[in-house]
Amino acid sequence: MKIVMLGAPGAGKGTQAINIAKEYDIPHVSTGDIFRANIKNGTELGMKAKEYMDKGALVPDEVTIGMLLDRISEPDCKNGYVLDGFPRTIPQAESLRKALTEKGDKLDVAVNIEVPDAVIEERMSGRRACLKCGATYHVVYTPPKKEGICDNCGSELVQRADDKPETVKARLATYHEQTQPLIDFYKKEGILKEVDGTQSPSDVFKAVMEALS
């Protein structure tokens, strides 16, 4: 199963991608997580990405596309994957399609998690992230069992630097301008499924599983 998650920042892509990855036993591939791991390790790629991430802008396609295509050519991706945060631009989607077509392969489903901007701003302000395993929580909606600690791996949770309100506004503008057109792109490909992301996380997951079946 090769799945793409679409949706605004904070729509719940990561939350659902982790569930899907467990259900289908495929890797959860998050470009945001890959960039954050590089920033943490002080790599050149990380330093370059951080410049853009801090502003709420997209990391340039020249950097992002090669990185993602390398990742999905690793052996653990051979039976499929769930892409979270990629593609985010039309050129990214076209490059992915081309790379798959060359191998006689294709995506199975693009799931769009639909959430209005007003709800997003509230979700982002309460988001807490585990930089070690990629799990996310919300201080009100989906709190961890022990405050500030990841249920999954026991690491300390942090508020992401780019989740402050000014940056969230910039990221939403970036989303509407550069990423939203992908909804039509995948509709034309005939693989788009829409899910109402304003329901509880478990109801969203039910709807996602229906969309995938």
Binding positions for ligand ADP, rule: CB under 6 A = 7, 9-15, 31-32, 35, 52-53, 58-59, 64, 85-86, 88, 92, 123, 126-127, 136-138, 141-142, 162, 171, 200-201, 204
Residue 139: CB partners within 8 Å, gap ≥ 6? 126, 128
Active-site annotation holder among 71, 88, 123, 128: 88
71 binds, among ligand ADP, Zn ion, none (CB under 5 to 8 A by kind): none
Which residues, in sequence order, are bridge partners of residue 112? 6, 194
Q: Which residue is nearest to ligand ADP (CB)?
A: 32
**Cβ proximity to Zn ion, 72 vs 157, nearer residue:** 157
Out of ligand ADP, Zn ion, none, which partner does residue 83 contact, by CB within 5 to 8 A per kind?
Answer: none
- Give catalytic status of residue 171 as yes or no: yes
The contact set with Zn ion (CB under 5 A) reads 130, 132-133, 135, 150, 152-153, 155
Burial class (CB in 10 A: 0-12, 13-18, 19+), 124: buried
| Known active-site residue 13 | yes
Nearer to ligand ADP by C-beta: 5 or 104?
5
Calculate ∠ Cα 64-69-70, nearest 5°.
Answer: 100
Q: Which of 13, 36, 71, 128 is catalytic?
A: 13
CB of 123 to ligand ADP, least distance (A): 4
Residue 85 binds which one of Zn ion, ligand ADP, none, with CB within 5 to 8 A depending on kind? ligand ADP
Could you give the residue numbers annotated as active site?
A: 13, 88, 127, 160, 171
